[in-house]
Structures are given as C-alpha cells and as structure tokens.
Amino acid sequence: MKPKLIIGNKNYSSWSLRAWLLLKEAGIDFEEHRIVLDTDTSAREIAEFSDAGRVPVLQLGDLTVWDSLAIAETVAERWPEKQLWPADPDERAHARSISAEMHSGFPYLREHMPMNCRAMGRRVHLLDELGEDIDRVIDIWAECHRHYGDRGGWLFGNFSIADAMFAPVVLRLRTYGINLPESAGFYPHRLLESEAMQDWLAAAECEIEVIEEDEKGQ
C-alpha cells in the first residue's frame, strides 16, 4: 500500500512542503491528499486523519505519523536505502542539529515572513529580531557550503532531511527579496532548480485560495 500524505495549500503550507519534498526527492511513491486550510471545514477534514489538527500527516497503512520532523525520521527509518541523513556520524549530528533548530526556532521569520509561493517582491520591515533570524540562516547555509559545497549543492552534498527542513525558508527569502551574500546564495539556487521544487511551485501558482494572514508585506 502506498504511503498517503495529507498536506495543506501548496502556496502557504511550509510544513507540508517539508514532508512532500522529502518524499519526492527520495523517490518514494505516495498518494497526496490536499486539504484547503483556513476554511470552515478545514479542522473537520484534518481531524479525519489526525487528532493533532495539523498538516502534514503521513499514513503508512494503519500507522499515522504527524509533525514534519517525526515524519522525516520515520521515512528515514522505513527507507534506509534512501540515505536521508548523512552517512558520516559527525555530519549526521550536524544535519540533525540544524534541522531541529529550524523545527523549533526562527519565530520572527515565521511570523513576519510567511511562506507565499505566488508572491514576489514583497517587502517587510526588518526588525532587529527578524534580522537576527535571517543572519542565522545565512550563517548556517554558508557553513554548510564551506564544508560540503563541493559535493553536489545540497546542504550536506546529497539531498537530506536538512534540505527539506530549510526549503520553505528559501521561498520566504525569495518572496521578500532578501539579498544573500555569495557564501549563502549557492544553496537556494540548487533547491529552486530541482524538479520537485519546480513541480511544487507550479502547483502553488494554480491554487486559487487566498489566506489573508499570509499575504503580509507590500
């Protein structure tokens, strides 16, 4: 039986993108079920798949897994041949650290720069705290490029869970026109040129729903 992934709007749902991109880049065949968020029926529709009330949700037969990082770890365990963490234990610890940091941190980036794939050229006031979040992302990408940049362009050379975790940030910085130093600019180009990301962006462009809270910026 195919895994089934329940996601939200492709234009807005950053957490959905993480799980979706992971499965796509890993080459895992799965069934996709999209639920339009921020409607009168959204909560009821999501509750049919998970009591947690959020997307994404991964169904593996009778098993239900929710939360993007839990989904990622489960996929890595179920398909070890996909090598979704770096093989080297030190590099794997590094990848896990930045993935966990993204999962639990960057509150100002999330609040003030929501993911909006269709929007381009938006502007936002760079509060000190937001600037610190962006600077931290730049530092992470630059460090990965310095250590692993000669291997293939992803954060750790080959595609990994870390790339899935940081993919929505690339789109956020793209939407809000944030200029990156050369040391941190290689990774966004690698991500955006991937076939899976191009498929996601094309689907987001075709969506007609609008979530006003995620239309911030001028």
Closest among 95, 91, 76 to 166, alpha carbons compared = 95
- For residue 106, what are its two tokens? 């960057």
CA distances from 210 to 1, 24, 150, 188 (A): 34, 25, 40, 26
Which H helix or E strand runs over 31?
strand 31-34
Q: What are the beta bridge partners of residue 4?
A: 31, 59
Q: In terms of domains, do 106 and 164 share one?
A: yes
Query: Rounded to two decimals, what is the model's pTM?
Result: 0.95
Q: In terms of domains, do 37 and 114 share one?
A: no
Domain containing residue 145? 89-201
pLDDT of residue 215: 85
Mean pLDDT of 78-99: 98
pLDDT digits (tens, 9 = 90+) for 6-46: 999 999 999 999 999 999 999 999 999 999 999 999 999 99
State how many domains the chain has: 2
pLDDT digits (tens, 9 = 90+) for 110-149: 999 999 999 998 888 888 999 999 999 999 999 999 999 8
Calpha distance 143→169 (Å, rounded): 16
Q: In terms of domains, do 21 and 57 share one?
A: yes
Q: In terms of domains, do 71 and 159 share one?
A: no
